[in-house]
Amino acid sequence: MRFLQTCFCLFLFFSNRPIDAEWKLIDGERLAYAAKWTGIPAGELVMVTAKVPRLGDDMYELRLEANTNSFWSMVYRVRDVIHSRVNVREERSHYYYKDVKQGRRHLEEKTTINYEGKKIIHSKQNLSANEKANLKEFPIEETQNQLFDPLSMIYGLRKIDFSKPMNTTSDLNNFNVFADKGVYNLAFRLGESEAIKLNNGEVREVWKIEPTAAYEGGIVDSGKLEIWLDKKTGIPLKLLFNIPVGWATLELNDSNHPDLKLEPQSFFRKRR
C-alpha cells in the first residue's frame, strides 16, 4: 500500500499565497515529520534548509528525504529525495530536482525555471525501465513571474502574516506552482483557530487550512486534506488526509527551529 507515497505527494502539492510577510529561511534548519498510515507508524519525512554561497547570498537549497521505516519497507519501500533552489530576495524558485524510489519504481525529474527566457525546462526519466529522459518546455506567462515548485511552497506557508485580521470564511489568495504537467493555480481556505499539543507537552496556537482546488491528476482529487499551521513560525505541525482506502497523518516530531525546538521520538527504526 502506498501510504508514505500518498502522504508525501499531498504534503508537496498544496500551499497558499504569501500575505505581506517577509520570507525568512534559516540556514541549517531541520524539520522531521513522523508519518502514520491509519494510525500505524509508517516512516519519516525530513526537511533541511542550507545556504548556497557559490550561488549568491540570497540563494538557499531546500532538501527533503522521505523514508519508510523497517517494517513498512518490507511491504513497500520508499526512499525519496528532493532538492529545491530558491532566491529569498526574489521570493521564487529557480531549480527543482526529484529522485523517487518507491517499490520497484525509480524516477528522476529535473526542472529549471528561466525567468529571463520566459520558459520552464523539465525532464523526467524512468530509470527503472531504462528509458531516456523525456524533455519538455513550458512557457512562463506574464502573470507568472513568481513561481514556486512543490517543495518551496511548503516554506511559502511562512509568509502568512497572522498579526493581521484574517477572515476564516474566505479563501486565501492564489499561488502559482510548477509541477510536472505545467503551472497550476492553487489556494487554501482558512479554517478555525485551534491549539495543538506537541510531543514535548507544549501547546501551540494554529490555523487549520484546507485546499480549495486540487492538483489535476493528483490523488487529492479523491480525498480531503487538512493542515494545522503554527501561527508563530508558519511551520505545518500536522497534516491529515482521507482517501477511499484509508487515512494518513504527518506530525512534526523533531525540530531545531529556534522558536519551535523538539526532541525526536522514534517508533520503528528506519531501514537503509
Q: From first to last of its 272 residues, what are the pLDDT tens digits of the chain?
A: 444 454 555 455 443 333 456 788 999 999 999 999 888 899 999 999 999 999 999 999 999 999 999 998 998 899 999 999 999 999 999 999 999 999 999 999 999 999 999 999 999 999 999 999 999 999 999 888 889 998 998 888 787 776 666 666 555 666 788 887 788 877 777 888 899 999 888 999 998 888 765 444 333 444 577 889 999 898 999 988 776 667 889 999 999 999 998 877 654 444 44
Residue 174 has what pLDDT? 66
The reported pTM is: 0.84
Per the CB < 8 A criterion, the answer to whether 95 and 61 are in contact is no
Residue 220 has what pLDDT? 40
Residue with cell 548556497: 52
- The cell for 102 is 518507491
Residue 169 has what pLDDT? 58
Residue 22 has what pLDDT? 74
Residue 212 has what pLDDT? 65
Q: Give the C-alpha separation, 245 to 223, whole Å.
A: 10
